[in-house]
Structure 1
Amino acid sequence: MLNPRATNEDLTAKARIRNAAMDLFAQYGESRVSLRAVAAEAGVTLGLVQHHFKTKAGLREAVDQLVSEYFYQAVHSVPNTGTPAEVAGARDEAVREMLRENPAVVNYIRRAVLEPEPARLKFLERQVELVRSEVVALREAGLASTSRRESTQVVAVLVRQFGELLLAPMIDSVWQMVTDEPDTAKPRLTVTVEE
Protein backbone atom coordinates (compact mmCIF):
# COMPACT_ATOMS: atom_id res chain seq x y z
CA MET A 1 0.00 0.00 0.00
CA LEU A 2 1.23 3.47 -0.84
CA ASN A 3 1.93 5.47 2.32
CA PRO A 4 0.09 8.80 2.04
CA ARG A 5 2.47 10.25 4.59
CA ALA A 6 5.71 9.23 2.83
CA THR A 7 8.97 9.71 4.72
CA ASN A 8 10.51 12.91 6.00
CA GLU A 9 13.32 12.66 3.45
CA ASP A 10 10.77 12.77 0.63
CA LEU A 11 8.62 15.56 1.98
CA THR A 12 8.11 19.20 1.29
CA ALA A 13 7.99 21.57 4.26
CA LYS A 14 4.20 21.70 3.87
CA ALA A 15 3.92 17.91 4.21
CA ARG A 16 6.30 17.84 7.19
CA ILE A 17 4.15 20.48 8.92
CA ARG A 18 0.96 18.49 8.23
CA ASN A 19 2.56 15.28 9.52
CA ALA A 20 3.86 17.00 12.66
CA ALA A 21 0.38 18.40 13.26
CA MET A 22 -1.19 14.95 12.93
CA ASP A 23 1.29 13.48 15.41
CA LEU A 24 0.75 16.27 17.93
CA PHE A 25 -3.04 16.41 17.49
CA ALA A 26 -3.15 12.63 17.92
CA GLN A 27 -1.06 12.72 21.07
CA TYR A 28 -2.43 15.80 22.84
CA GLY A 29 -5.64 16.80 21.09
CA GLU A 30 -5.96 19.71 18.71
CA SER A 31 -7.10 22.18 21.36
CA ARG A 32 -3.89 21.64 23.36
CA VAL A 33 -1.50 22.14 20.43
CA SER A 34 -0.44 25.57 19.20
CA LEU A 35 0.75 26.44 15.72
CA ARG A 36 4.07 27.33 17.34
CA ALA A 37 4.36 23.77 18.73
CA VAL A 38 3.62 22.33 15.29
CA ALA A 39 6.30 24.57 13.77
CA ALA A 40 8.85 23.42 16.35
CA GLU A 41 7.99 19.75 15.79
CA ALA A 42 8.27 20.16 12.01
CA GLY A 43 11.53 22.12 12.28
CA VAL A 44 10.14 25.19 10.51
CA THR A 45 9.17 28.73 11.46
CA LEU A 46 5.72 29.75 12.64
CA GLY A 47 5.52 32.02 9.63
CA LEU A 48 5.94 29.06 7.27
CA VAL A 49 3.10 27.19 9.01
CA GLN A 50 0.88 30.25 8.62
CA HIS A 51 1.99 30.71 5.01
CA HIS A 52 0.94 27.16 4.06
CA PHE A 53 -2.15 26.68 6.25
CA LYS A 54 -3.18 30.17 7.38
CA THR A 55 -4.90 28.99 10.58
CA LYS A 56 -5.22 25.97 12.81
CA ALA A 57 -8.49 25.19 11.02
CA GLY A 58 -6.60 25.06 7.73
CA LEU A 59 -4.03 22.76 9.27
CA ARG A 60 -6.75 20.52 10.74
CA GLU A 61 -8.36 20.30 7.28
CA ALA A 62 -5.04 19.11 5.82
CA VAL A 63 -4.66 16.49 8.56
CA ASP A 64 -8.24 15.31 8.05
CA GLN A 65 -7.50 14.92 4.34
CA LEU A 66 -4.35 12.91 5.12
CA VAL A 67 -6.24 10.55 7.44
CA SER A 68 -8.96 10.09 4.81
CA GLU A 69 -6.23 9.28 2.28
CA TYR A 70 -4.95 6.50 4.59
CA PHE A 71 -8.42 4.91 4.47
CA TYR A 72 -8.75 5.44 0.74
CA GLN A 73 -5.38 3.81 0.05
CA ALA A 74 -6.15 0.86 2.35
CA VAL A 75 -9.54 0.18 0.76
CA HIS A 76 -8.22 0.57 -2.78
CA SER A 77 -5.33 -1.81 -2.13
CA VAL A 78 -7.90 -4.63 -2.28
CA PRO A 79 -9.01 -5.86 -5.71
CA ASN A 80 -12.76 -6.10 -6.35
CA THR A 81 -12.63 -9.82 -6.98
CA GLY A 82 -14.39 -12.55 -5.07
CA THR A 83 -17.74 -12.73 -3.36
CA PRO A 84 -19.19 -9.64 -1.71
CA ALA A 85 -18.35 -11.08 1.71
CA GLU A 86 -14.75 -11.75 0.63
CA VAL A 87 -14.31 -8.23 -0.75
CA ALA A 88 -15.81 -6.65 2.39
CA GLY A 89 -13.69 -8.86 4.64
CA ALA A 90 -10.50 -8.08 2.70
CA ARG A 91 -11.22 -4.35 2.81
CA ASP A 92 -11.88 -4.45 6.55
CA GLU A 93 -8.63 -6.37 7.04
CA ALA A 94 -6.72 -3.84 4.90
CA VAL A 95 -8.07 -1.04 7.09
CA ARG A 96 -7.15 -2.96 10.28
CA GLU A 97 -3.62 -3.51 8.94
CA MET A 98 -3.26 0.16 8.02
CA LEU A 99 -4.38 1.15 11.52
CA ARG A 100 -1.96 -1.32 13.16
CA GLU A 101 0.88 0.24 11.17
CA ASN A 102 -0.14 3.84 11.92
CA PRO A 103 -0.83 4.45 15.61
CA ALA A 104 -0.99 8.23 15.07
CA VAL A 105 -3.93 7.70 12.71
CA VAL A 106 -5.67 5.59 15.36
CA ASN A 107 -5.16 8.19 18.07
CA TYR A 108 -6.16 11.04 15.77
CA ILE A 109 -9.42 9.29 14.85
CA ARG A 110 -10.19 8.48 18.48
CA ARG A 111 -9.78 12.11 19.42
CA ALA A 112 -11.69 13.36 16.38
CA VAL A 113 -14.67 11.08 17.01
CA LEU A 114 -14.72 10.92 20.80
CA GLU A 115 -13.96 14.57 21.52
CA PRO A 116 -16.70 16.08 19.39
CA GLU A 117 -16.76 19.75 18.63
CA PRO A 118 -18.49 21.38 15.68
CA ALA A 119 -15.28 21.65 13.66
CA ARG A 120 -14.63 17.90 14.07
CA LEU A 121 -17.87 16.98 12.31
CA LYS A 122 -16.17 17.72 8.98
CA PHE A 123 -13.83 14.77 9.55
CA LEU A 124 -16.73 12.42 10.20
CA GLU A 125 -18.60 13.83 7.19
CA ARG A 126 -15.55 13.16 5.01
CA GLN A 127 -15.35 9.55 6.22
CA VAL A 128 -19.07 9.03 5.63
CA GLU A 129 -18.77 10.33 2.07
CA LEU A 130 -15.74 8.13 1.41
CA VAL A 131 -17.61 5.04 2.63
CA ARG A 132 -20.78 6.04 0.79
CA SER A 133 -18.88 6.36 -2.52
CA GLU A 134 -17.30 2.94 -1.97
CA VAL A 135 -20.66 1.35 -1.15
CA VAL A 136 -22.18 2.85 -4.30
CA ALA A 137 -19.26 1.57 -6.41
CA LEU A 138 -19.54 -1.92 -4.91
CA ARG A 139 -23.30 -1.99 -5.45
CA GLU A 140 -22.84 -0.97 -9.11
CA ALA A 141 -20.18 -3.68 -9.54
CA GLY A 142 -22.50 -6.31 -8.06
CA LEU A 143 -20.25 -6.76 -5.03
CA ALA A 144 -22.65 -5.33 -2.44
CA SER A 145 -26.29 -6.08 -1.86
CA THR A 146 -28.81 -3.82 -3.50
CA SER A 147 -31.62 -5.26 -1.39
CA ARG A 148 -30.25 -3.61 1.76
CA ARG A 149 -30.56 0.13 2.14
CA GLU A 150 -27.44 2.06 1.17
CA SER A 151 -27.58 4.00 4.44
CA THR A 152 -27.56 0.75 6.43
CA GLN A 153 -24.50 -0.44 4.50
CA VAL A 154 -22.66 2.85 5.14
CA VAL A 155 -23.36 2.67 8.88
CA ALA A 156 -22.37 -1.01 9.03
CA VAL A 157 -19.00 -0.34 7.35
CA LEU A 158 -18.24 2.62 9.63
CA VAL A 159 -19.19 0.67 12.75
CA ARG A 160 -17.11 -2.32 11.64
CA GLN A 161 -14.06 -0.20 10.94
CA PHE A 162 -14.35 2.45 13.66
CA GLY A 163 -16.10 0.36 16.31
CA GLU A 164 -13.18 -1.95 16.87
CA LEU A 165 -10.78 0.98 16.71
CA LEU A 166 -12.66 3.05 19.27
CA LEU A 167 -13.40 0.21 21.66
CA ALA A 168 -9.98 -1.51 21.47
CA PRO A 169 -8.60 0.09 24.68
CA MET A 170 -11.66 -1.01 26.67
CA ILE A 171 -11.62 -4.51 25.14
CA ASP A 172 -7.91 -4.87 25.96
CA SER A 173 -8.43 -3.78 29.57
CA VAL A 174 -11.44 -6.02 30.14
CA TRP A 175 -9.63 -8.97 28.51
CA GLN A 176 -6.70 -8.54 30.89
CA MET A 177 -9.12 -8.49 33.84
CA VAL A 178 -11.05 -11.61 32.90
CA THR A 179 -8.49 -13.99 31.39
CA ASP A 180 -5.79 -16.06 33.03
CA GLU A 181 -4.26 -16.72 29.62
CA PRO A 182 -3.11 -13.34 28.25
CA ASP A 183 -1.54 -14.92 25.16
CA THR A 184 -4.85 -16.29 23.88
CA ALA A 185 -6.71 -14.48 21.14
CA LYS A 186 -8.91 -11.75 22.55
CA PRO A 187 -12.51 -11.22 21.44
CA ARG A 188 -13.19 -9.02 18.40
CA LEU A 189 -16.07 -6.68 17.84
CA THR A 190 -18.60 -7.80 15.26
CA VAL A 191 -21.54 -5.94 13.82
CA THR A 192 -24.92 -7.42 13.03
CA VAL A 193 -27.44 -5.23 11.26
CA GLU A 194 -31.11 -6.11 11.42
CA GLU A 195 -33.32 -4.78 8.65
Structure 2
Amino acid sequence: MLNPRATNDDLTAKARIRNAAMDLFAQFGQARVSLRAVAAEAGVTLGLVQHHFKTKAGLVEAVDQLVVDYFAAAVASVPPSGTTAEVASGRDRAVAKMLAENPAVINYVRRAVLEPSDDSRLHLLEELVALTKREVTALRDAGVASREHREATQIVTVLVRQLGELLLAPMVDAVWEQVAEPGTEKPSLTITVQDR
Protein backbone atom coordinates (compact mmCIF):
# COMPACT_ATOMS: atom_id res chain seq x y z
CA MET A 1 0.00 0.00 0.00
CA LEU A 2 1.23 3.48 -0.81
CA ASN A 3 2.23 5.36 2.33
CA PRO A 4 0.81 8.89 2.14
CA ARG A 5 3.32 9.96 4.76
CA ALA A 6 6.53 8.53 3.17
CA THR A 7 9.78 8.80 5.13
CA ASN A 8 11.45 11.93 6.41
CA ASP A 9 14.40 11.41 4.02
CA ASP A 10 12.02 11.65 1.05
CA LEU A 11 10.02 14.63 2.25
CA THR A 12 9.89 18.32 1.58
CA ALA A 13 9.95 20.68 4.54
CA LYS A 14 6.20 21.18 4.08
CA ALA A 15 5.53 17.43 4.39
CA ARG A 16 7.87 17.12 7.40
CA ILE A 17 5.97 19.95 9.12
CA ARG A 18 2.60 18.30 8.38
CA ASN A 19 3.86 14.92 9.67
CA ALA A 20 5.30 16.47 12.83
CA ALA A 21 1.98 18.23 13.40
CA MET A 22 0.04 14.98 13.05
CA ASP A 23 2.32 13.24 15.54
CA LEU A 24 2.03 16.06 18.08
CA PHE A 25 -1.73 16.56 17.57
CA ALA A 26 -2.25 12.80 17.95
CA GLN A 27 -0.24 12.72 21.16
CA PHE A 28 -1.35 15.93 22.88
CA GLY A 29 -4.42 17.20 21.04
CA GLN A 30 -4.54 20.03 18.57
CA ALA A 31 -5.48 22.66 21.18
CA ARG A 32 -2.37 21.91 23.27
CA VAL A 33 0.19 22.13 20.46
CA SER A 34 1.62 25.44 19.28
CA LEU A 35 3.03 26.22 15.87
CA ARG A 36 6.39 26.73 17.61
CA ALA A 37 6.25 23.17 18.96
CA VAL A 38 5.47 21.85 15.48
CA ALA A 39 8.38 23.83 14.02
CA ALA A 40 10.75 22.45 16.67
CA GLU A 41 9.56 18.88 16.09
CA ALA A 42 9.98 19.26 12.31
CA GLY A 43 13.39 20.92 12.68
CA VAL A 44 12.34 24.11 10.87
CA THR A 45 11.68 27.72 11.79
CA LEU A 46 8.31 29.06 12.87
CA GLY A 47 8.42 31.35 9.82
CA LEU A 48 8.64 28.34 7.50
CA VAL A 49 5.59 26.77 9.15
CA GLN A 50 3.68 30.02 8.66
CA HIS A 51 4.95 30.34 5.08
CA HIS A 52 3.57 26.92 4.13
CA PHE A 53 0.38 26.79 6.21
CA LYS A 54 -0.33 30.43 7.14
CA THR A 55 -2.22 29.54 10.34
CA LYS A 56 -2.77 26.66 12.69
CA ALA A 57 -6.12 26.05 10.98
CA GLY A 58 -4.29 25.65 7.67
CA LEU A 59 -1.94 23.15 9.26
CA VAL A 60 -4.84 21.21 10.82
CA GLU A 61 -6.51 21.07 7.40
CA ALA A 62 -3.33 19.62 5.89
CA VAL A 63 -3.14 16.97 8.63
CA ASP A 64 -6.82 16.13 8.09
CA GLN A 65 -6.09 15.65 4.39
CA LEU A 66 -3.17 13.36 5.21
CA VAL A 67 -5.45 11.19 7.34
CA VAL A 68 -8.06 11.07 4.56
CA ASP A 69 -5.25 10.09 2.15
CA TYR A 70 -4.37 7.17 4.45
CA PHE A 71 -7.97 5.94 4.35
CA ALA A 72 -8.22 6.51 0.58
CA ALA A 73 -5.02 4.56 -0.08
CA ALA A 74 -6.21 1.66 2.09
CA VAL A 75 -9.58 1.50 0.34
CA ALA A 76 -8.01 1.85 -3.12
CA SER A 77 -5.73 -1.11 -2.39
CA VAL A 78 -8.78 -3.41 -2.68
CA PRO A 79 -10.22 -3.46 -6.20
CA PRO A 80 -14.01 -3.15 -6.53
CA SER A 81 -14.43 -6.67 -7.89
CA GLY A 82 -16.10 -9.65 -6.28
CA THR A 83 -19.21 -9.85 -4.19
CA THR A 84 -20.41 -6.99 -2.02
CA ALA A 85 -19.32 -8.89 1.09
CA GLU A 86 -15.86 -9.65 -0.36
CA VAL A 87 -15.22 -6.02 -1.32
CA ALA A 88 -16.55 -4.68 2.00
CA SER A 89 -14.57 -7.11 4.14
CA GLY A 90 -11.44 -6.60 2.02
CA ARG A 91 -11.66 -2.85 2.42
CA ASP A 92 -12.39 -3.12 6.13
CA ARG A 93 -9.30 -5.35 6.53
CA ALA A 94 -7.18 -2.89 4.52
CA VAL A 95 -8.31 0.00 6.73
CA ALA A 96 -7.69 -2.06 9.88
CA LYS A 97 -4.19 -2.95 8.65
CA MET A 98 -3.44 0.69 7.81
CA LEU A 99 -4.58 1.76 11.27
CA ALA A 100 -2.53 -0.96 12.98
CA GLU A 101 0.55 0.24 11.10
CA ASN A 102 -0.11 3.92 11.89
CA PRO A 103 -0.95 4.50 15.57
CA ALA A 104 -0.69 8.28 15.10
CA VAL A 105 -3.63 8.08 12.67
CA ILE A 106 -5.68 6.22 15.29
CA ASN A 107 -4.91 8.75 18.01
CA TYR A 108 -5.45 11.70 15.70
CA VAL A 109 -8.86 10.43 14.57
CA ARG A 110 -9.89 9.70 18.16
CA ARG A 111 -8.95 13.19 19.27
CA ALA A 112 -10.48 14.88 16.21
CA VAL A 113 -13.79 13.08 16.55
CA LEU A 114 -14.16 12.68 20.31
CA GLU A 115 -12.54 15.68 21.96
CA PRO A 116 -14.73 18.72 22.35
CA SER A 117 -13.49 21.75 20.47
CA ASP A 118 -14.60 24.25 17.88
CA ASP A 119 -16.67 23.35 14.79
CA SER A 120 -13.60 23.29 12.54
CA ARG A 121 -12.66 19.94 14.09
CA LEU A 122 -15.60 18.38 12.27
CA HIS A 123 -13.62 18.92 9.07
CA LEU A 124 -11.92 15.51 9.31
CA LEU A 125 -15.22 13.70 9.82
CA GLU A 126 -16.76 15.62 6.91
CA GLU A 127 -13.84 14.59 4.67
CA LEU A 128 -14.08 10.94 5.71
CA VAL A 129 -17.83 11.02 5.00
CA ALA A 130 -17.17 12.54 1.56
CA LEU A 131 -14.57 9.84 0.77
CA THR A 132 -16.94 7.10 1.90
CA LYS A 133 -19.81 8.59 -0.11
CA ARG A 134 -17.65 8.61 -3.26
CA GLU A 135 -16.65 4.99 -2.70
CA VAL A 136 -20.19 3.79 -1.94
CA THR A 137 -21.54 5.62 -4.99
CA ALA A 138 -18.85 4.08 -7.20
CA LEU A 139 -19.62 0.59 -5.87
CA ARG A 140 -23.36 1.10 -6.38
CA ASP A 141 -22.76 2.37 -9.93
CA ALA A 142 -20.53 -0.64 -10.67
CA GLY A 143 -23.22 -3.02 -9.42
CA VAL A 144 -21.03 -4.23 -6.56
CA ALA A 145 -22.99 -2.59 -3.74
CA SER A 146 -26.69 -3.22 -3.28
CA ARG A 147 -29.23 -0.60 -4.27
CA GLU A 148 -31.80 -2.17 -1.95
CA HIS A 149 -30.49 -0.16 1.00
CA ARG A 150 -30.39 3.59 1.23
CA GLU A 151 -27.06 5.10 0.23
CA ALA A 152 -26.98 7.09 3.47
CA THR A 153 -27.31 3.89 5.51
CA GLN A 154 -24.50 2.28 3.52
CA ILE A 155 -22.24 5.28 4.17
CA VAL A 156 -22.97 5.18 7.90
CA THR A 157 -22.46 1.40 7.95
CA VAL A 158 -19.02 1.65 6.33
CA LEU A 159 -17.88 4.38 8.69
CA VAL A 160 -19.20 2.58 11.76
CA ARG A 161 -17.49 -0.66 10.70
CA GLN A 162 -14.19 1.07 10.00
CA LEU A 163 -14.16 3.62 12.83
CA GLY A 164 -16.41 2.07 15.46
CA GLU A 165 -13.82 -0.18 17.04
CA LEU A 166 -11.16 2.53 16.80
CA LEU A 167 -13.37 4.98 18.70
CA LEU A 168 -14.84 2.54 21.21
CA ALA A 169 -11.78 0.38 21.96
CA PRO A 170 -10.49 2.54 24.85
CA MET A 171 -13.87 2.34 26.59
CA VAL A 172 -14.15 -1.43 26.01
CA ASP A 173 -10.62 -1.93 27.35
CA ALA A 174 -11.35 0.14 30.47
CA VAL A 175 -14.60 -1.70 31.18
CA TRP A 176 -13.00 -5.10 30.52
CA GLU A 177 -10.22 -4.34 33.02
CA GLN A 178 -12.85 -3.66 35.66
CA VAL A 179 -15.11 -6.65 35.08
CA ALA A 180 -13.03 -9.49 33.62
CA GLU A 181 -11.58 -12.29 35.64
CA PRO A 182 -7.77 -12.49 35.41
CA GLY A 183 -6.52 -14.35 32.35
CA THR A 184 -9.76 -14.19 30.37
CA GLU A 185 -9.60 -13.06 26.77
CA LYS A 186 -11.33 -9.82 25.88
CA PRO A 187 -14.33 -10.34 23.58
CA SER A 188 -14.22 -8.93 20.07
CA LEU A 189 -16.20 -5.80 19.35
CA THR A 190 -18.82 -6.03 16.60
CA ILE A 191 -20.92 -3.05 15.62
CA THR A 192 -23.82 -3.19 13.19
CA VAL A 193 -26.13 -0.65 11.59
CA GLN A 194 -29.62 -1.68 10.49
CA ASP A 195 -31.63 0.03 7.80
CA ARG A 196 -35.23 0.45 8.93
Structure 2 match to 1:37:
37
Given that residues 113 and 125 in structure 2 are in contact (C-alpha distance below 8 angstroms), is that contact kept between their aligned partners in structure 1?
Answer: yes
Structure 2 match to 1:146:
147
Structure 1 match to 2:122:
121
Structure 2 match to 1:161:
162
Tell me, which stretches of 5 or more residues in structure 1 are unaligned?
none
Q: Residue by residue, what CA displacement relative to the aligned partner does 1:54-95 show, whole Å, maximum 9, x if unpaired?
A: 000000010000000000000011122221011101101111
Structure 1 match to 2:21:
21
Distance 1:16 1:160, change over 3 A: same
Percent of residue pairs identical: 68
**SS where residue 144 of structure 2 aligns?**
coil
For 1:94 and 1:139, locate their aligned partners in 2 and report how far apart those are by CA, in whole Å: 20
Superposition TM-score, scaled by structure 1 size = 0.95
C-alpha displacement of 1:134: 0.3
C-alpha displacement of 1:193: 1.0
Superposition TM-score, scaled by structure 2 size = 0.95
Tell me, which stretches of 5 or more residues in structure 2 are unaligned?
none
Structure 1 match to 2:55:
55
C-alpha displacement of 1:182: 4.2
Given that residues 131 and 157 in structure 1 are in contact (C-alpha distance below 8 angstroms), is that contact kept between their aligned partners in structure 2?
Answer: yes
Cα RMSD between the aligned structures?
Answer: 1.3
* Moved segments of 4+, more than 4 Å: none
Given that residues 176 and 186 in structure 2 are in contact (C-alpha distance below 8 angstroms), is that contact kept between their aligned partners in structure 1?
Answer: no
Q: Residue by residue, what CA displacement relative to the aligned partner does 1:105-148 show, whole Å, maximum 9, x if unpaired?
A: 00000010012421111111111100000000000111111011
Which segment is superposed worse, 165-174 or 91-100? Answer: 165-174
C-alpha displacement of 1:18: 0.1
Which segment is superposed worse, 47-56 or 173-182? Answer: 173-182
Given that residues 176 and 182 in structure 1 are in contact (C-alpha distance below 8 angstroms), is that contact kept between their aligned partners in structure 2?
Answer: no
Given that residues 17 and 49 in structure 1 are in contact (C-alpha distance below 8 angstroms), is that contact kept between their aligned partners in structure 2?
Answer: yes
For 1:189 and 1:81, locate their aligned partners in 2 and report how far apart those are by CA, in whole Å: 25
**Is 2:80 aligned against 1:80?**
yes
Structure 2 match to 1:134:
135
Structure 2 match to 1:175:
176
Given that residues 20 and 41 in structure 1 are in contact (C-alpha distance below 8 angstroms), is that contact kept between their aligned partners in structure 2?
Answer: yes
**SS where residue 44 of structure 2 aligns?**
coil
Structure 2 match to 1:66:
66
Given that residues 96 and 161 in structure 1 are in contact (C-alpha distance below 8 angstroms), is that contact kept between their aligned partners in structure 2?
Answer: yes
Structure 2 match to 1:8:
8
For 1:142 and 1:183, locate their aligned partners in 2 and report how far apart those are by CA, in whole Å: 43
For 2:183 and 2:7, locate their aligned partners in 1 and report how far apart those are by CA, in whole Å: 35
**SS where residue 3 of structure 2 aligns?**
coil
For 1:21 and 1:184, locate their aligned partners in 2 and report how far apart those are by CA, in whole Å: 36
